[in-house]
Structure 1
Amino acid sequence: MSMDFGFDMITEDEYQRQRALYEPLTEAVRRLIYASLHTDVGADAAAEARTKIEAVTALLETEQRASVPLVHENTGRPLAWANPAVGLRNAIAPPMVIHHEDDGSCWSEFTLSGAYEGPPGWVHGGICALVLDHLLGEAASEGLTQPKFTGTISLRYLRGTPLGPLRAEAFVERTEGVKTFARGYLKDADGATVEAEGVFIRPAWARDAG
């Protein structure tokens, strides 16, 4: 069963067309965010940059898409392009590419830069929670193909998570009726930095659908 309630279908060809068009744009905005965090240019350069950014923003605002959720025709997965964890069109997303294994577990390897910093040199705890909430949700919902949403999630911060290369992974422990129990970890090269467990609920409106 695909999670297609209220979604419009998008074909593979159209998906690839939009991805080729907008993924580089998102990456350019991501670079802009990182650059603006660390720039030390003078007043004239800052004013010139602001003027150019405002002009680009106005250009992009000339044609805006309707906020209609899309689901991929072949996979049944929703296109979560605005998602702050994996959104292809969201420049604040790390982004994470999620890999799914045959046993139902999932994982992602990615790099978090200074845009995600809390204490100097360390990832903000809320970003750790965002990453793990998404990974556990991916596992619980079978790759976002089942309508299951976070009921509760708890995290144990084992130690600081350093900025840089990281790995997140998650798996389902058990299912009880409409509840799916998932567990996951955020890791650096030395092992786990955060562990999480969550309960994901199949909503009432989807229970009669099978």
Structure 2
Amino acid sequence: LNPEARAFDASFEVLSVEEAVRVTGRYAPLADAVRELIEATILTEVDGGVVDNARAAIEGVTESLRQRTRSAKVSYRVDGRPLPLGNAAVGVCNPIAPPIVVHQEGGGRCWSEFVLGLAYEGPPGLVHGGVSALVLDHMLGEAASEGLSKARFTGTITVKYLRGTPLGPLRSEAWIERHEGVKVFARGTISDAAGVTVEADGVFIEPAWARDGQ
């Protein structure tokens, strides 16, 4: 195993661009359907018989999908970068991820526009504060790692909530502020149409195995 694989107790499989398109094309729509199911589950007021039938159908589908699974410790890479299918923020095959699509501008700066629906609610009509922190942790990490091209992980993150973040369409931006040795300092925000709702500062660390190969 390479140092990264040892650090994560994981194995990495390299996919071609064509293979990655095939994998995401097959399984991402399934995750989209489950996201729709999650929201329907939150809102439904159907009677008990319909609920019982739905539960039985869902349990049957779950068992069919378990007929063939990959190891949870297998991760994929495409063109030398991670393809985080199960990531809680950006994993296109993870139904609990919005998912966020991150656009890199270069120079340690990135942005994303996305929608957070009822599955991410905290106070009525507002995004849960922990979800905002999740989004910003990932966005700052994308900036600090220059698009996941360098191994830099969250050391600390400080989140400041300026006001409630409404459910619906949002935008997040993140950028590198400075470097200090193995530390990268990054900042980021979440905004709605009226302006910034949450901001964060983070320190990201380059691990020893990435610095010296140990």
TM-score higher than 0.5 = yes
Q: Aligned partners of 1:88, 1:160: CA distance in 2, in Å?
A: 27
- Structure 1 runs of 4+ with >3 Å offset: none
Report sequence identity in percent.
57
Show the counterpart of 1:102.
106
Show the counterpart of 2:142.
138
Show the counterpart of 1:114.
118
What is the count of residue pairs matched by the alignment?
206
Cα shift readout 1:166-206 (whole Å, capped 9, x = no counterpart): 00000000011100000000000011000100000001111
Q: Unmatched 5+ residue regions in structure 2?
A: 6-11
TM-score by structure 2 length?
Answer: 0.93
**Does residue 1:71 correspond to 2:70, yes or no?**
no
**Does residue 1:186 correspond to 2:201, yes or no?**
no
Q: Aligned partners of 1:123, 1:186: CA distance in 2, in Å?
A: 11
Show the counterpart of 1:11.
16
Show the counterpart of 2:9.
none
Q: Unmatched 5+ residue regions in structure 1?
A: none
Amino acid at match of 1:17: R
- For 1:37-186, list aligned pairs within 5 A: 37-67=42-72, 68-72=74-78, 74=79, 76-186=80-190
SS in 2 for 1:78: strand
Amino acid at match of 1:5: E
Amino acid at match of 1:26: A
RMSD of equivalent CA atoms: 1.5
Cα shift readout 1:147-178 (whole Å, capped 9, x = no counterpart): 11000000110000000110000000001110
Show the counterpart of 1:208.
212
Cα shift readout 1:27-72 (whole Å, capped 9, x = no counterpart): 0111111110000100100000000000000000111112311111
Q: Aligned partners of 2:163, 2:69: CA distance in 1, in Å?
A: 43
SS in 2 for 1:150: strand
